[in-house]
Amino acid sequence: MHKIQIDRAGGYEQLRLAQVAELAVGPGQVRVAVQSIGVNFADCAVRMGLYASAKQYVGWPITPGFEVAGTVAELGEGVTDLQVGEPVLALVRFGAYAGQVVAPRAQVVRYPPAWNPQQASGFAVPFLTAWYGLCHLAGARPGQVVLVHSAAGGVGQALVQLGKAVGCVVIGVVRGAHKVQPVQELGCDVVIDKGAEDWVAAVQRAAPGGVDIALDANGVETLRDSYRLLAPAGKLVVYGFATMLQRGGNGRPNWPKLVWTWLRTPRFNPLDLTTENKSVMAFNLSFLFDKAEVLAEALQFLLPLAQAGTLKPLATQSFPLEQASEAHRALETGATVGKLVLTVAELGTSGGS
């Protein structure tokens, strides 16, 4: 099979197409012939050598990626509730940029029949991230005001949809006029283009009493203001630090910028948190794969909503697997809307697939 392999940290040139032997399937596992692969910002951090769980669980060389859609190619011993050829999506902790993946049965699920593989491959990571941050950690309840940064991106759009599904008032922040309408079409109550106006002042106008939950993956650019905008008993959920990485260029880390933004990143004092009656929480989805019960709870919550059409698949932009570097380059511009995916032209489980 073919896969993208990264031998060492670096720029786009490190995303190398390699041919390797097919994967073995163990008891309780499923081999999936991959048709489409979700691309996430975490994959870019993996390529740069900046992703902690990649170092902890894999090291070099590594094949990035967490989510795929395709068809069941082989069932391991004990797996009897799926059929070969059945369309599924699968979650893996790295290794998704490939012609096939092998995943535990619990991480392989059927997706809605109306979806295509590109839509299915872009569902799991954004919506699991959104569910864990908004529902599991923040405990969102009907009527609460939720602030979503980067609302036009994959996780952002998932957060907007999930927020509306649980009855929240959702304020979305984007950068760029072309991102406003797609977020509005998802039902977002207020969409703010921070490239055209002061986003903090706009949030204050929309929520004079503050926001109950703020979800922020930007890092230093917005974290401090997100915290200040919280209402009493408000919760700030942090799930990334995208603005620490440079946009454009050769795709390599900008170490001076990394150091500078790290030094400027807010440090939250527990005494202040207590006095101000606010909470700060953070997570990384890739460290949750061992929490099978959490993933199961999330999927049991999300999939019925997807089947019913309450949660809609994200709009996708596709690149062939061999153009993974172009997908990373596009994602790092910050100009994309929705989800980027990689498509696999040749399917099957033979060594040359």
Residues 140 and 277 in one domain: yes
pLDDT score of 347 = 40
Residues 118 and 139 in one domain: no
Q: What is the CATH number of the domain that holds 261?
A: 3.40.50.720
Residues 23 and 131 in one domain: no
Residues 23 and 110 in one domain: yes
pLDDT score of 250 = 82
The tens digit of pLDDT for each residue in 51-88 reads 999 999 999 999 999 999 999 999 999 999 999 999 99
Residues 269 and 322 in one domain: no
pLDDT score of 267 = 94
Q: What is the CATH number of the domain that holds 100?
A: 3.90.180.10
pLDDT score of 246 = 67
Count structural domains, the chain.
Answer: 2
Residues 27 and 84 in one domain: yes
Residues 132 and 97 in one domain: no
Longest dimension (CA), the chain: 62
Residues 215 and 269 in one domain: yes
**Which parts of the chain register pLDDT below 50?**
347-353
Residues 204 and 326 in one domain: no
pLDDT score of 265 = 92
Residue 308 inside a domain? The answer is: no
Residues 331 and 263 in one domain: no
Residues 139 and 282 in one domain: yes
Last residue of a domain, one of 270, 286, 302: 286
Range of the domain at 325: 2-123+313-343
Residues 96 and 185 in one domain: no
